Amino acid sequence: MTLFPIPELLAAARPGGLGAFNVITLEHAEAIAAAAASADCPAVLQISENTVRYHGGLKPLTRACLQLAADNPAALAVHLDHATSRELITEAVELGITSVMYDGSTLDYADNVESTAAITRWCHERGVHVEAELGAIGGKDGAHTPGVRTDPDEAAAFVSATAVDALAVAVGSSHAMHTRDARLDNDLIARLSAKLPVPLVLHGSSGVSDDGLRSAVHHGMAKINIATRLNIGLTEAIRTALASQLGLSDPRKYLGPGRAAIQHEVEHFLEVLRGR
């Protein structure tokens, strides 16, 4: 099949949420694509700026993800996540990525509006979907620094001024959590959903329980980003394989179980986001 625009995937996922899963290795991408096909559910393959830095470039992994998405029977999109530079966004669009997240959350409000609006205009001229993040200066976590909350009125003004297509909001989650005890503000999610004309995106979803994710979707969260839980599953499976065979050196024999663990996690989250 061909790549699908994010708005079509969001519509296809309703009344559930759209699962968006971060890719670090080829095994991640293969597992996410296989899980979407197995569950017959739309999904997003996401490549972050940190992953681009890890690989030393965007092109190889992006081309692999685009091919996997195009060949998959499920509806998939490829998305650039947490990009902070115009250059990386330009390269992604030139490679064929049709959805990007520009992260200006570490800028002050006025600079975030100005830079986000300029990038959105450029992307829209090329038919590219733009997600942005609104929040106070907060280091790596940006708007998802613990304790930060998105103000509905400020968010509405930001969306109006920038014309973005989706907004990542701070409602109680935080990036890179290994426990699943984050408490989301469902009342705030509902108020943001009612106030904003664009889909809401939850980052840091790995730290939220299954019931918490179901409730977030019920209250208006549309796109759910998941990364850390996949990495935990991958790492645990590799540790188990290596511990069971101390002389093991064939990476296929430990990366294979790791890939299967990622697929299991993605299948689970896709069912949760369907409300099951």
* Active site (annotated) includes residue 81: yes
Tell me the backbone φ, ψ of residue 218, rounded to 5 degrees. Answer: -60, -35
- DSSP string for residues in 163-197: --SEEE--SS--TT-SSS-----HHHHHHHHHH-S
Q: Look at the block and give the residue holding tokens 């294979």.
A: 256
Task: Give the residues across from 213 on adjacent strands.
Answer: none
| DSSP-derived pairing of the beta strands 221-226 and 129-133 | unpaired
Helical segments of 196-250, H only: 210-219, 228-244
From residue 166, how far is each of 75, 129, 193, 248 by CA, in Å?
19, 8, 11, 45
Instruction: Produce one character per residue of 120-144: b if its CB has 16 or more CB atoms within 10 Å, e if not.
Output: beebeeeebbbbbbbbbebeebbbb
Helix, strand, coil fractions of the chain, as percent rounded to 5: 55, 15, 30
- Structure-block tokens of residue 86: 């115009």
Active site residue: 40, 71, 81, 211, which one?
A: 81
- Answer yes or no: are the C-beta atoms of 47 and 65 closer than 8 Å: yes
Query: Active-site positions?
Result: 81
